[in-house]
Structure 1
């Protein structure tokens, strides 16, 4: 920053340097946020933000006592952070030395995606072969809290074994939908809205109609395993893809869950008619 009385350099080169400087700072902050996302450091940042906000308010309203306390907290807080988060800071420095500090998040995300895909694929394959009916909905951007509240809360890690056990016939939770939220099984035995479309084939049961109904009002993905035939289907963005092989199922699920938007080659009405014809 120029000192008082100094002229500000307004040349194009200086402007470009300043723009690059700001962009680099924002890039570093963005990557750091990605690194700490999903860790306990996020809660720490929230606490620091609250303390800074309180400090600003004490200055505005002239609250000297609270301002003094906040000043002490800020003064000694950084030392406390270094002590409390010493293991995390050490790992970050080690990764920085290996040149992997910013790549770590992408690696972890890819590993988590593969774990989730493996769990879903394994459980669906098992249930399809044994004709165990299943209805699994995956929350995306639109919240599914109102439907989660209709079921039994679980908040468990997503594993193929747990998904299979939930849908075993005559067990307490097998009737209804399982909803996956933020890499967890949020609830089981949930009720989904039934579609009232007159274009849905009469041969489709309640599970398919509920899956289509949810896709009509949210951006959720729903996986259906037919109890009668063992056929595997996926609904997303109002479209129903039926009778998928396991290879087709995995490809389609990966695309609508982690990839781009579903292809809108044909409207779902025509797809139902052609596949039922």
Structure 2
């Protein structure tokens, strides 16, 4: 028994030593692999990945059977295939990078803006948004209202017409009224103001979105995939109210439900604003000490 334990100990001594750094690396790599697989599963890359799997199995068979000509062809086309994949998946890769950038990790750490965050809004704005949404829903007036949070919507705003007016139910209803100059497209809401109207939003290519939903809902999902914005959608066909956030759609059945969602958004924005003010005060205090 002692001899067996000694042999087991000698075998274990041959294994590499596992440190805390090694465990940290394993955890990081595991998270990255999971996120990549999750991204692949929800894009066109999943279908192509299955095709690549078939090619890989074919290459293994070619190696086992020593089909040297086929192996030579596969070796020479590998570099071209990688470049072709980058070109084919350029939209998906760009969207993934936009989602990563919209997290504002660096800005949350390094931002020292001590001014009041212009993206925060008050309860009056929430009430006006809720009133306008369900007034338009009653008469089946299509609407698309994007509420800006941490990620800037300036690029999307430039595609529309500047409004810069206080949020009110009358203003929003007039904008989306049929056959008016500003009714087509989305409005961008920044804080308590309607920043722009007739804005064009990126369309989502998520194939899981119901075919019963039109371009308006696909645009709402699209902008929520690349930014942290919250979008209120009123269907022109059914009058249904839907909220798009984080690439998903949520049906809202009554005014109280929408008010609860917007109150949550308001709380998140105010929390971020207070954090920036606190960091700005710390910076000012350091300057005063110097």
- TM, length-normalised to structure 1: 0.53
CA distance in 2, matches of 1:259, 1:182: 13
Distance 2:265 2:117 in 1: 23
Q: Alpha carbons of 1:195 and 1:129: their partners in 2 closer, same or farther (altered >3 Å)?
A: same
Q: Secondary structure at the match of 1:208?
A: helix
Contact 1:236/1:256 (<8 A) preserved: no
Q: Deviations over 1:77-117 (max 9, x none)?
A: xxxxxxxxxxxxxxxxxxxxxxxxxxxxxxxx8xx511111
Match of 2:264?
Answer: 255
1:119 pairs, out of 119, 125, 128, with: 128
Contact between 2:122 and 2:266, CA under 8 Å: does it hold in 1? no
Distance 2:210 2:252 in 1: 14
1:154 aligns with 2:151: no
Other-structure match for 2:210: 201
Deviation at 1:183, TM superposition (A): 2.1
In 1, the alpha carbon distance for the partners of 2:206 and 2:152 equals: 23
- Asked whether the 8 Å contact 1:151–1:189 carries over to 2, the reply is yes
- Asked if residue 215 in structure 1 is aligned to residue 254 in structure 2, the reply is no
* Contact 2:144–2:234 (CA under 8 A) maintained in structure 1: yes
Is it true that 1:178 corresponds to 2:187 in the alignment? yes
Query: How many residue pairs end up in the alignment?
Result: 156
Q: What's the CA shift for 1:258?
A: 2.8
| Counterparts of 2:117 and 2:255, CA distance in 1 | 31
Equivalent residue number for residue 266 of structure 1: none
TM-score, normalization by structure 2 = 0.51
Deviations 1:95-153 (A, max 9, x none): xxxxxxxxxxxxxx8xx511111110110111011110000001100000110000011
Question: Structure 1 CA distance, aligned partners of 2:226 and 2:233?
Answer: 17
Given candidates 228, 235, 239, the residue that maps to 2:244 is: 235
2:156 and 2:265 mapped to 1: Cα distance?
A: 21
> Which consecutive residues of structure 2, in runs of 5 or more, have no partner in the other structure?
1-112, 270-290
1:38 CA displacement: 7.8
* Mapping for residues 74-113 of structure 1, pairs under 5 Å: 113=122
Match of residue 133 from structure 1? 142
- Decide whether the 8 Å contact of 2:156 with 2:199 is kept in 1: yes
Contact 2:187 2:196 in 1 (8 A): yes
Structure 1 distance, partners of 2:241, 2:179, is 21
**Structure 1 residues 38, 148: closer, same or farther in 2, change over 3 A?**
closer
> Greater relative contact order: 1 or 2 (C-alpha under 8 angstroms, separation 6 or more)?
2
Cα distance in 2, alignment partners of residues 257 and 161 from structure 1: 22
Q: CA RMSD in A?
A: 2.1
